[in-house]
């Protein structure tokens, strides 16, 4: 009578295997083109966790001197970008990084602006799902779905300098 004992074990093993997997889907990854003098550019994307365990985006890797996770906080018309250590993506949740909110910050662009039509190859690092490749399409600002909510949060201007001082 070994079979009745094996069957439950097999079920438990299968459940353990799936519960360790966060099912992450990444869509709509894009970045805005930047001015030639820009120090940094913002990347945006939508992350959906279709799995049954919470996950956390802990880092983005790309070929820039620095890549950070940022969020934006408004003090009236003044936007300040804050460094985030991680972005949680709970089971069943969709998290959108969009202009005026959370974003990926490609930093240290000096002399190498993001140009519409370019693609940025990057790797998202999740606690559970591990590394996921993603391609950000660089788009022109006037064709992007931005509706001007980026007001006061212009990555292209020297008044918003990521290169030297940074608010943590």
Q: By the criterion CB under 5 A, which residues form the site for Cu ion?
A: 70, 81, 105
Pick 24 or 31: Cβ nearer Cu ion: 31
Tell me how far, at minimum, the Cβ of 162 lies from Cu ion, in Å: 7
Tell me how far, at minimum, the Cβ of 22 lies from Cu ion, in Å: 26
Closest CA to 167 of 95, 89, 97, 75: 75
Q: Round to whole Å and give the CA distance between 119 and 102.
A: 20
Pick 22 or 39: Cβ nearer Cu ion: 39
Residues 44 and 149 sit within 8 Å (Cβ to Cβ): no
Pick 29 or 105: Cβ nearer Cu ion: 105
Pick 11 or 86: Cβ nearer Cu ion: 86
Tell me how far, at minimum, the Cβ of 87 lies from Cu ion, in Å: 13
How is the chain split among helix, strand and coil, in percent rounded to 5?
10, 45, 45
> To 5 degrees, how large is the angle CA 108–CA 129–CA 18?
175
Nearest residue to Cu ion, by Cβ distance, number only? 70
Tell me how far, at minimum, the Cβ of 118 lies from Cu ion, in Å: 19
């Amino acid at each position: 009578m070994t079979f009745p004992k094996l069957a439950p074990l097999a079920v438990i093993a299968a459940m353990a295997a799936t519960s360790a997997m966060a099912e992450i889907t990444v869509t709509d990854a894009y970045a805005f083109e930047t001015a030639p003098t820009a120090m940094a550019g913002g990347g945006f994307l939508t992350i959906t966790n279709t799995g049954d365990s919470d996950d956390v985006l802990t880092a983005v890797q790309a070929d820039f001197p620095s890549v950070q996770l940022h969020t934006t906080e408004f003090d009236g018309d003044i936007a300040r970008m804050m460094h985030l250590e991680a972005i949680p993506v709970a089971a069943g949740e969709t998290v959108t990084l969009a202009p005026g909110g959370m974003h990926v910050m490609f930093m240290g662009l000096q002399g190498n602006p993001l140009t519409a039509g370019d693609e940025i190859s990057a790797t998202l690092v999740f606690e559970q799902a591990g590394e996921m490749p993603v391609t950000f399409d660089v788009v022109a600002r006037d064709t992007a779905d931005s509706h001007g909510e980026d007001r006061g949060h212009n990555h292209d201007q020297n008044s918003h300098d990521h290169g030297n001082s940074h608010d943590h």
